[in-house]
Structure 1
Amino acid sequence: MAARTKKAAMLMTILLVMLTAACSSNNNAPGNKTTSEPQNTASGGSEATPAAKPVEITWWNFPNFQALDGEVGKYEKEMIAAFNQKHPEIKVNLEMITFDGGPEKLNVAIASNSAPDVIYDAPGRVIDWGKKGLLAPLDDMIPQDVRSDIPDAFWKQSMVGDKTVMYPINTAPFMMAVNKTVFEKIGALDLLPLDRKDRVWSFDEYKAALQAVKEKAPDVIPSVFFAKSQAGDQGTRAYIANLGLSSFLKDDLSAIAINTDQAGAALDWIAQAQKDKLVISGSAALAASDVNDLFLQGKVAFSINYSAVLKAQNSTLKKAEFEEALLPFPTLDGSAPKLEPYLGGMAIFNNGDDAKIAAAKTFIDFVANDEVYGKKNLIQTGGLSVRNSVTGLYDDEEYAYSELARQFITAPPTIADGYAEIRTYWFPALQSVLLGQQTGKEALDSFAKSADEAIAKAKAQLK
């Protein structure tokens, strides 16, 4: 009897062990989730689900976000720390680059196969890299609700063929800025179109404003121009195109359109305006950053290369107390202007490592869409959201105007085939006029010839 009882007890024990094993196996079956923490197996404990494999990526960033406490890159480090709270397995190495030296540094890195994994930049460079096959497609990280919430105009600037190579995040129309305080001091605020909802104004009205500054504020330079380097080329393009009622490119982006008589006359006026002290002298040797610094010092009344994004980024860089206002470029006859959009977004260089590409996508998704940092990042750029559903981020009159001015946005030339080469011909053409070597029309015709050849060559290479 005792033997029979002992045998029954043994059978019960075996059954309990089998049931426990079955339950354990079922809990780890596909489709079931576990909330238990991975256990340390170094001392011979039971095997557990392995933690995500650590990945290290490098992010190169222009100063796209406002400096925090006056320190460039401090905000980005804060963002990375917040990202690591959610993704401790992904290490992000940040390297800040400048708008002056950054483009060349990127070119060298690409040529030496040492490009960063992630870049926050604009279509001018990103699309060119995409056309050269240097970037990883991002389509698998863009759900349909996001794609339909962003206007087609922004997707056109973010895609090469049917592949998305840049994740669009922030935008703002490029336009002018005026030192409003200068006009208040000289009692000429009425010369600015600030009382008009759309702020649209004419070339004659603009010239009257410049003349008032020259006569009543002799220590202030009325306006600026620059032609030393490629940076800021969108400001000079739109300035001349609007003063001359022209477009930089044809609507289908197949050829240059700015070489008109009126645009040539506008360029001639700029050269003469230097001599008349309405535009800064020596502009052929000045870069966009040079004249921007003068504006921030309060020494210039008008900047021709501005946006809501730059307004925010410059807020901590001002060296003088003044209030600026955003204005569209004046047009020859006071008609609606054509503004190029600033578009900022993130791209991934395909460095041949799938794990890094996947990690970079996770990081981009956090920057753009995190429930806390998505909005916070937008505001820190000073830009507007590319999404139709995200508006009213700022309680500020100039940002409200910037949103209104989106109605004037036209397709930018940055998506044209051969754009990277086109822009290399632009500033030499401007310099030739500023230095008295060619008329405006001659320079624009010469530019158009070289640029059209670049477009044709690029199209042929893409076939």
Structure 2
Amino acid sequence: MYWRYGQEPCRVRQHNPDYEEGTMKLRVFKMLAVFAALAVLGAGATGCGDDAGDASVQEPAPEPVAPADPEPEAAAPAEPEPEPAVPSEPEPVTIEVTNWHTTEEQFGAPFREIVADFEAKNPGIKVELVDLPWFGTLENLTVRAAGGDAPDVALLSEFWVPSLAAQGALQPMNDLVPVDTLSSLEWARGSLLDPYTFNGELVALPWYVFGFSLVYNKDILAQAGYDGPPATFDEFEEQIAAIAALDGDIIGLGADFSNGAGAGQQLYRWIWAYGGDVFDGEGNVVFDSPEAVAALTALADLQASNGDALTVGINTYAAREVFANEQVAFLGEAAWIRSILRDLSGQGEAFDDSWGVAPWPSGVDGTSIPSVSSHVWAIFKQSDHPEESMAFIDFLVSNAEHQETWAEVFGSTPVFQDQMGFAIFDDPYYTPFLTALENGRTLPLHPQEPVVATTLATAVQEALAGGDPEEALARAADTSRRILGQ
């Protein structure tokens, strides 16, 4: 035995063999009793699975059976899919186009047909044509542009372009004209593009060009003793004087010698023939030069010798009517004159035998210098539809079919070189007009040209009424210089 420090010693039980044996027997007996009880319980548990077992043992309850799924109900008929909405057509854009052709009986219907074809090929664009007579077009458009009521597109004479461009009224076209169209005009840039380009901006596109030639009445020349038209200005003035001396109030030259810009522009051709000019290369007024004085003096002398030498006081339209009545010997006209005279005479094609066409007479240096002009289309800056406006202009300029139709009706020359081979130009009638394009000159393209021409017209009127040509030109030139700030 042992003890710990600070505790009392423990008493150790001594080994007793008899005690241990009795205790062991008791434990064995208890274990046997437990095993016997377990055996009885095991037999009862085995009877639970025997059909002949104790009836007091209940059968286990059957497992619940899940109810059968109900028959699916018939599906309701599907609603029809709504048809997709058809997008509505956009409203067409309307562009206002001013022109003078619809005021002319012989040209109005063909032009409307061309416009109708454009609308058919471009259903998104409608064209509203507005009639403006030639005389008064520039004034009308100038006022409308200043008042904020300009049209989308306007047909212009080329010498109106500088004035409207200086007003700031015209839309630059550089980014609007199709590249192919510009390329087709490059062959004659100097006459087809440059005159309508200001500060690098193209503001008008030529529709057609035309050269002026001398139109003469065959019977009247024969009455005056001439076999054919004059070739030089000396012969021209001689024949005018001889015809004016005939009985029957026959007039020598029919031209616009009224009091508007037209009279001044008529004098341009005479000034060129005498070697002068209206403006110099820097835009300065020079129509009071000795050459210009000689030109106006020649006209004044013709009128002074016989009051029937010139159609004084009437415009171009009236002069044509007098020619159609066979009372005028000469006109300066473009190829459109044939259809005009057929209409005015009331004789149709039969009237063609009464007159002919010759090159414009050559001047003092032996060169024929006819005037060349063109009609152009422009878009105004106030337009809300510049792209649609350009589509219309390009259609007129580039469509070969309609250019050929217009050449037949109007006598114009297309601006595309590959369109100048139309069969119509094989007609000898067109030869003088086409030749005029080679040596001709355009009217001065100056912003103030209409004002200068009107001022010059006062000098023409004064000289034809008996005034001194030199003094009349000097006063008109001084007035023009003041207007231009020169």
TM-score bracket, normalised by the shorter chain, equals: 0.7 to 0.9
Contact 2:214/2:359, CA 8 A, preserved across alignment: yes
1:136-184 Cα offsets, whole Å, 9 max, x none, are: 1222314242232333222122222211111112111234321234224
Q: 1:424 aligns with which of 448, 454, 457?
A: 454
**Deviation at 1:215?**
4.9
Deviates more, 1:205-214 or 1:82-91: 205-214
1:183 matches 2:195: no
Aligned residue in 2 for 1:234: 265
1:289 to 310, 317, 320: 317
Cα deviation 1:66-123 (Å, max 9, x = unaligned): 744xxx5222221121112111121111122212243333333223322221111112
Q: 1:161 aligns with which of 196, 199, 207?
A: 199
1:85 aligns with 2:120: yes
| Equivalence for 1:330 | 361
Name 1:404's counterpart in structure 2: 435
1:146 aligned onto 2:174: no
Q: Hey, what's the Cα distance between the residues in 2 that align with 1:233 and 1:317?
A: 26
For 1:325, what is the secondary structure of its paired residue? strand
Measure the CA separation in 2 of the matches of 1:287 and 1:224: 9
Q: CA deviation at 1:229?
A: 1.5
What whole-Å deviation, never above 9, does each CA across 1:4-60 have from its counterpart, x for those lacking one? xxxxxxxxxxxxxxxxxxxxxxxxxxxxxxxxxxxxxxx964366774551011111
What residue number does 2:327 align with? 299
Question: What's the counterpart of residue 95 of structure 1?
Answer: 130
Q: In the alignment, which residue of structure 2 is the partner of 1:124?
A: 159
Aligned partners of 2:208 and 2:375 also within 8 Å: yes
Counterpart residue number, 1:445: 474
Task: Look at both structures and tell me which one has the larger radius of gyration over its CA atoms.
Answer: 2
Per-residue deviation, residues 275-326 of structure 1 (Å, max 9, x unmatched):
322744672x3333332321222110012x4112344444422357353333
Q: State how far apart, in whole Å, the 2-side matches of 1:164 and 1:209 are.
A: 44
Rate the CA distance shift 1:206–1:118 in 2: closer, same or farther, 3 A.
Answer: same
Work out whether residues 241 and 258 of structure 1, in 8 Å CA contact, stay in contact via their aligned partners in 2: no
Write the distance in 1 (CA, Å) between the matches of 2:265 and 2:365.
21
- Shift of the 374–307 alpha-carbon distance from structure 1 to 2, 3 Å rule, reads closer
- Report what 1:369 is aligned to: 398
Flag the 1:399–1:96 CA change in 2: closer, same or farther, 3 A: same
Amino acid at match of 1:386: V
CA distance in structure 2 between the partners assigned to 1:76 and 1:309 by the alignment: 14
The one-letter amino acid paired with 2:120 is: Q
Structure 1 stretch displaced more, 403-412 or 329-338: 329-338
The answer to whether the Cα contact below 8 Å between 1:158 and 1:167 also exists between their aligned partners in 2 is yes
Matched, 1:259 2:294: no
Using structure 1 for the length normalisation, give the TM-score: 0.77
Partner of 2:336: 309
8 A Cα contact 2:371 2:442, kept in partner: yes
2: CA distance, partners of 1:347 / 1:212:
45
Do residues 205 (structure 1) and 235 (structure 2) align? yes
Report how far residue 232 of structure 1 moved: 6.0
Q: Which amino acid aligns with 2:166?
A: K
Alpha-carbon shift at residue 389 of structure 1 (Å): 2.9
Q: For the Cα contact (< 8 Å) 2:161–2:204, is it kept in 1?
A: yes
Distance 1:293 1:409, change over 3 A: same
Do the aligned partners of 2:100 and 2:133 also contact (CA within 8 Å) in 1? Answer: yes
| Aligned Cα root-mean-square deviation (Å) | 2.9
Q: For residue 237 of structure 1, report the CA deviation from its aligned partner.
A: 1.6
What SS does structure 2 have at the residue aligned with 1:136?
coil
- Provide the residue aligned with 2:68 in structure 1: none
Give runs of ≥4 in structure 1 deviating > 6 Å. Answer: none
SS in 2 for 1:410: coil
| In structure 1, distance between residues paired with 2:113 and 2:293 | 48
Distance in 2 between the 1:224 and 1:417 partners?
28
% identity of equivalent residues: 21
Q: Secondary structure at the match of 2:216?
A: strand
Give the match for residue 38 of structure 2: none
Q: The residue matched to 2:344 in structure 1 has which SS?
A: coil
Preserved contact between residue 102 and residue 112 of structure 2 (Cα < 8 Å):
no
In structure 2, list runs of 5 or more residues that go unmatched. Answer: 1-80
Alignment partner, residue 31 of structure 1: none
* Distance in 2 separating the partners of 1:203 and 1:187: 18
CA–CA distance in structure 1, aligned partners of residues 438 and 183 of structure 2? 23
| Amino acid aligned to 1:400 | T
Query: Is contact 1:60-1:116 (8 Å) kept?
Result: yes
> CA, structure 1 residues 207+337, in 2 after alignment: closer, same or farther (shift >3 Å)?
same
Contact 2:320–2:341 (Cα < 8 Å) also in 1: no
- 2:46 aligned partner: none
Give unpaired runs (5+ residues) of structure 1. Answer: 1-42, 194-200, 458-463
| TM value normalised by structure 2 | 0.73
Q: CA 1:307/1:411 → structure 2, altered by over 3 Å: closer, same or farther?
A: closer
Contact 1:66 1:313 (8 Å CA) reproduced: no
Asked if the contact 1:223/1:300 (under 8 Å) is kept, the reply is yes
Is the 8 Å Cα contact of residues 392 and 400 (structure 1) preserved in structure 2? no
